[in-house]
Amino acid sequence: MNKPLRRIAIFCGLLVMALLVRDNWLQYVKADTLKNDTLNRRVAIERYATPRGDIIVDGKSITGYKKTTGSDFEYKRTYKDGAMWSPVTGYASQAFGATQLESIEDGILTGNDDRLFFRNTLDMITGKKKQGGNVVTTLNSAAQKAAYQGLLKQGKGAVAAIDPQTGAILALASTPSYDPSTFAGNSTDTDTKAWQKIQKKADPDDPMLNRALRETYPPGSTFKVVTAAAALENGLYDSADDKTDSPLPYNLPTTSQPLNNEGNLPCEDATMREALRVSCNTVFGKIGADLGKDKMTEEAEKFGFNAEQFVPVRSNASVFPKKMDQPQTALSSIGQFETAATPLQMAMVASAVANNGELMKPYMVDKLQAPNLDVIEQTEPESLSRPLTEKNAQILQSMMETVVQKGTGTNAQISGVTVGGKTGTAQHGVDNSENPYAWFISYAKLSDGSSPVAVAVVVEDESANRDDISGGGLAAPIAKSVMKAVIDSKK
């Protein structure tokens, strides 16, 4: 072969090699990236070519599907009581993608999960159409309904309810809400308009905000439960009924600024039981200052503060500030200053106390099912931490039960059931200029000593008379209805 031909042959060989390398790069290395690229319309067409699997509550689907017309997307998602369940399901929209369980478990619901490969291969051989699997939740439909309907009467707010013994989420409600069915398709006339209508810039109440998981509020006096736990765990006080070293009036450390109570309360040297019953700022503010920021932070973090939770939907991290002086530590210890919590977080606090000091990891997916209902994955309860010893947890239970028996939480009483709780009215706005948030955290205990539910409720009622806003008045009745719904469903 002469020299020019040899050069041409080598050049052609290099071109073929480059083509093979590029082809293998696209087929194998970049395959998953290209497959999941949002600009790849074939992915979306394939996702909506078959009916989506269901999200299940109490053995019944809260989702469905509907055939579409005039679109290359064959099926679209439908929802039953969509506004009530959207904080759990999120949405699956042909035009706007998916969120929450619809997004996290998309592989199972569409049938594209790698764990369904063998079944999908068999279906392809036999000519059977691919099907999506199911997501079975831990939710309790009666509790969710009680939470949602209770919030609707108050306007804005959220509820989180947990089974203290397992961490299973029983209710997760948020208002105002939205119906994901209204924009599940891709019509510019209907779906796009429905989507635009519920965006925050069009609706300042922000109905798409999941207040149970994604909004952090000042927890107010409900945080005193954490401060009481810190006092017991660090040996500052050994009993609920020993008098505390609590002067009245009490000035914030290193200042001449008094820390006031809400009214003329019997807080001077009050026992922790009495201080929690009437909600003494002075007693718990001083406890926080005496313990110091490090011990308070350590206890708060054992309850889950300063960390995101994944249930599997992400919940914002609740905040207990780490950079504080003594006065700020005192304020943080009564749920003010920069302390902020999600409703899920405060349900976790009540849950740990109810479960004799052990905090279970919260979760809301019980299992994932193949289309033939075979279990692909089962969630096992998992311990997250132990904020309290069993002895101290039981002391704190007795304090919270006094709050409901003859304190600020009497509206949560349930006949024949022992209820422990704590109210909170949290400051809101610059210099507390806006209506405060009404909080209530609680748990129910049955005659056998078991605790099937712990609840946190927060209410934002901007239209209420400021003097009428209280955790016991607005939030406790909702918590009561949720707890009762769970208890009744177990009978």
Residues acting as catalytic residues: 221
| Secondary structure of residue 241 in the 3-state scheme | coil
Residue 95 token pair: 């035009």
- In the block, which residue shows the tokens 């009467």? 153
Cis check: omega of the bond before 176, within 30 degrees of 0: yes
Q: Cα-flanking dihedrals φ and ψ of residue 9, to 5°?
A: -65, -45
SS3 397: helix
Contact indicator for 383, 360 with CB cutoff of 8 Å: yes
Residue in the block written with tokens 């949290």: 426
Residue 429 C-beta-side C-alpha neighbours within 13 Å: 8
Q: Cα–Cα–Cα angle for 121, 126, 130, nearest 5°?
A: 55
**Strand, coil or helix: 430:** helix
Q: Which two tokens stand for residue 464?
A: 């209420």
| Alpha carbon separation from 172 to 39, 90, 169 (Å, rounded) | 33, 12, 7
Residues 231/287, Cβ–Cβ less than 8 Å: yes
Backbone angles phi, psi at 374, to 5 degrees: -65, 140
State the Cα–Cα distance between residues 75 and 37, nearest whole angstrom: 21
Whole-angstrom distance, CA of residue 405 vs CA of residue 421: 9
Regarding beta strands 258-259 and 250-251, do their DSSP bridges make them parallel or antiparallel, or are they unpaired? antiparallel
217 closest CA partner among 59, 377, 438, 399: 438
Q: Contact 91/184 with Cβ under 8 angstroms?
A: yes
